Amino acid sequence: MCGIFGMIGANAVANTLQALKYLEYRGYDSAGIAAKQADGIRIYKSEGRIHNLEKLLKNSVENNADSSFSGTSGAGYVESEIAIGHTRWATHGAVTTANAHPFYSPDGNFAVVHNGIIENYLALKKQFTSRGAVFTSETDSETVAYLLQNNYNGNTLQAVCATAKSLVGAFAIAVTTTYDNSLYAIKNKSPLVIGVSDVGVYLCSDIRCVSHWATKVAVTPDNTVVVVGKEGVRFYDFEGKPITVRFFTTDAAEEMEQVDGDFMLKEIFEIPEKIRLTQEGYFKNGGFGVEPERVRNISRIYLIGCGTAYNSGLQIAAVARKFLDVDVLPVIASEFIYDNYPVDGNTLAFFISQSGETADTIRAAENFNSLGGYSYAVTNTKASSLCFACKKVAYIYAGGEFAVASTKAYNCQLVTLLLLTLDVGRIRGTVSNEQYASVLRALTGIPSVIEEVLSHSYEISRIAETVKDSSAVFYIGRTTDYPTACEGSLKLKEISYIHSEAYPAGELKHGTLALMEENVTVVAITDGTLSDKMASSINEVATRGAKVISVSPQTFPNALSVTLPKVNTLLYGIVSVVPLQLLAYYVAKRLGRDVDKPRNLAKSVTVE
Ligand code: M6R
C-alpha cells in the first residue's frame, strides 16, 4: 500500500531503486525517485512497474537530458548522495505519471513521498487553490509539499513540524529539500523504520528491506518527526521537542531475492519447510508464550485479521471449538473496529497478520486494548507495527512472502494458532497430555504429507485447464472445511479474476443453487467426516449442470477427484488448502495473469 524509502550515503539512487524493487509488493501502479543534486532536486517518475522507472533513469543519462547532474552511477544512471523513492498503490487519483510520487513544492525546494491517506486533504487543497495554486496531481499527498513551502521560514525542522501538525490521517512521509543536506520524515499510523550503517542512513516502510543495508534499526513511534543527517538521526514530537527512540540490532534482513519463475509457486513449494521451522520454533522456545495466569480465567477468545489472515482465524476457531471450553470467535478486523463485540479483562484476542502492518488489524488491536482485553499478535514480521500494538507476540516462521496472494504464511498461521490454542486447552485442562502428544505427532508428519500433495501438482495443473473458462467457481465445505473453501475462493478470485464465492455446503440450497448451470465449477472440500452430506451437495449441483471437483481422502461419483492422504481432522485444513493454492495459481497462469502482482491489489494494506 505504497512503499517509501530514503537514503543518505553513496549511490543513494541505485540503492533507492533496489529498495523500490523490494518494496514493489506494497504497490505497483507507479514508481518514482527524487535525487538531490548541487543545483536542485531532480524527480524521475513513471507509471507502471519499477523497470519503467529504471529505463527512464537510464534514458535520461543516455539522452544527456541531465547533463547538469553531478555524476552517474556504475549502473548507468544519475547518482546522488541523497534520494527518496516511492512505489504507489493508487488511492487518490488514477494510475498516471502525474499522480506518481515524488511531488515538488511549487518552488521546487521540497520533494515528498507519502504512504497513507491524508484525510483532510480537500480542506488543505482548498486553502491553496483559493489563493490561485494549481496542483499537478489528483493526490492527497501533493498537499504536503505545498504545506512545507508555505510553512518554511528559514528553518526546515520547524516547517516539517508545522506541516505534521496540520495533517489528519495516516502517513509516513519522506522529505528532501534544497535548504540543507538532511532528510526529514513524518510518521503517524503508517510504518516507518529508520536504519543506520557505517556507510549510510536510511528510512523505509519495511524493516526487512532496510535491514538489507542497516545494522541497527529504530521503529518510529506515531506522531514523530525524524531528521536523518550524515551525522546521525534525531527524533522530535510534532512540537519540535526532542524524543528518544531506541535503536536495536536486527536479524530481519532477507535476501533480496529474484526468482526465475513466480514467487507464488516458489512460496507454495516452501510450505513443508516453513511448517517444520514453525514447529521447531515452538519447541525451541518452549511454546509461543501463552501465560497460564492469563488464560485460566478467560471466557472468550477472538481471532481477528483480514483476508487470508482472517481465514486462518476462521479455520482455527472451528478447530479449537472442538477442544476449548470458551467461546472462540473469528472476526474480520475492519468489522471489529466499528462493531460492539464484548471485551473485558477476561477476553483474549489473537491478531493475525502476515505483514504486521495491516491498518485494519492494528486499529482493531488498539480498540481491543482500550477495552481492557489481552492482545496477542501472530505475525510473520519482526518489529512490525502490530507487535507494538499488542501485549504479546508469536512469530510465525514463513520467511519473506512476496507474492500478493498469501500462501505459506496461511499454513504457518494455522500451525501457530493451533499450537497456541492447544496450549490454552492444556492450561485450562480441556486438552489432555495424551491428546496433545497425539496432535503433535500428527503435526510432525504434515510436511511430508504436503510434499506428497505437491508431487502431484501436474494433476492440479491439468484440472486448471478445465476450470479456467468457468463463469464462476463456488467453493463449499462444512465446519472445518468451510474456512478452507473461503481461502481457496479468495486465492482464485484475487489472481485469476474469475468470480468466486465460498459457502457452507448446506447453505447452497437456500438460494445459491439458483446460480448453478453449465460453465459453473463447484469445488467441494471434505475431510471425510460428513461425507454423505457432501455427496448430497455434490449431486444437487451436478444435476444442475455444474462441474464438480472434490478435494478429499475419498472420491465421489459425480466429481473429478483430487484425492488427499487421510490426516487428523484437526490438521486437515493445513493440507487441503494446498491443492486449492495450486489450482488458483495454475488457472491464473493459464489465463495469462500476473500472478505475483494481481490488478488493483497490494500485499500490505496500510490504510483503513
Ligand atoms: O499482512 P496481512 O496478513 O495482515 O494481510 C491481510 C490481507 O490483506 C491478505 O491476507 C490478503 O487477503 C492476501 N492478498 C490474500 O492472499
pLDDT in tens, 411-432: 999 999 999 999 999 999 999 9
How confident is residue 383, by pLDDT bands cut at 50, 70 and 90?
A: confident
**Top mutation candidate among 205, 306, 486 for ligand 1, by most atoms within 8 Å of CB:** 306
Spatial contact of 524 and 506, defined as CB atoms under 8 Å apart = no
Output the furthest CA–CA distance in the chain (Å, rounded): 79
Spatial contact of 458 and 549, defined as CB atoms under 8 Å apart = no
- On the question of pLDDT at 255 being above 70, the answer is no
How confident is residue 252, by pLDDT bands cut at 50, 70 and 90?
A: low
Spatial contact of 228 and 46, defined as CB atoms under 8 Å apart = no
How confident is residue 595, by pLDDT bands cut at 50, 70 and 90?
A: very high
* Own/partner pairs, 528-533, CB within 8 angstroms, 24+ separation: 528/552, 528/553, 528/554, 528/566, 528/569, 529/569, 530/478, 530/479, 533/478, 533/505, 533/506
Measure 308 CA to ligand 1 centroid, in angstroms.
5
Look at the block and give the residue holding cell 468457468: 470
Per-residue model confidence (pLDDT) at position 58: 87
- On the question of pLDDT at 253 being above 50, the answer is yes
Distance, in Å, from the CA atom of 560 to the CA atom of 65, rounded to the nearest integer, reads 61
Distance, in Å, from the CA atom of 595 to the CA atom of 194, rounded to the nearest integer, reads 31
- Rounded to 5 degrees, φ, ψ at 443 are -65, -35
Q: Would you list the DSSP string of 439-475? A: HHHHHHHHHHHHHHHHTTHHHHHHHHHHHTT-SEEEE
Residues ≥6 apart with Cβ < 8 Å to 83 = 6, 7, 12, 13, 15, 16, 33, 34, 35, 36, 176
- On the question of pLDDT at 604 being above 90, the answer is no
pTM of this prediction?
Answer: 0.88
Give 126's strand partners. Answer: none
> Which positions are annotated as active-site residues?
2, 603
How confident is residue 69, by pLDDT bands cut at 50, 70 and 90?
A: very low
Helix-then-strand count for the chain, H and E: 19, 25
Distance, in Å, from the CA atom of 24 to the CA atom of 193, rounded to the nearest integer, reads 17
Q: Would you list the DSSP string of 196-252? A: E-SSEEEEES-HHHHTTT-SEEEEPPSSEEEEEETTEEEEEETTS-EE----EE---
Q: pLDDT tens, 336-362?
A: 999 999 999 999 999 999 999 999 999
Across the range 284-311, mean pLDDT stands at 94
Per-chain mean pLDDT for the chain: 94
Distance, in Å, from the CA atom of 63 to the CA atom of 53, rounded to the nearest integer, reads 15
Per-residue model confidence (pLDDT) at position 603: 87
Across the range 10-17, mean pLDDT stands at 95
How confident is residue 607, by pLDDT bands cut at 50, 70 and 90?
A: confident
Across the range 439-453, mean pLDDT stands at 97
How confident is residue 231, by pLDDT bands cut at 50, 70 and 90?
A: confident
DSSP character at residue 102: P
304 lines ligand 1 (CB under 6 A): no
- On the question of pLDDT at 409 being above 50, the answer is yes
Query: Is the omega angle on the peptide bond into residue 102 within 30 degrees of 0, that is, cis?
Result: yes
Strand 82-88 relative to strand 103-104, pairing:
unpaired
Across the range 523-546, mean pLDDT stands at 95
* Residue nearest (by alpha carbon) to ligand 1 atom 14: 405
- On the question of pLDDT at 236 being above 80, the answer is yes
Indicate which atom in ligand 1 lies nearest the CA of residue 354. 3
- On the question of pLDDT at 123 being above 80, the answer is yes
Measure 407 CA to ligand 1 centroid, in angstroms.
10
404 lines ligand 1 (CB under 6 A): yes
Element (H, E) at 21: helix 12-23
Spatial contact of 250 and 204, defined as CB atoms under 8 Å apart = no
- On the question of pLDDT at 35 being above 90, the answer is yes
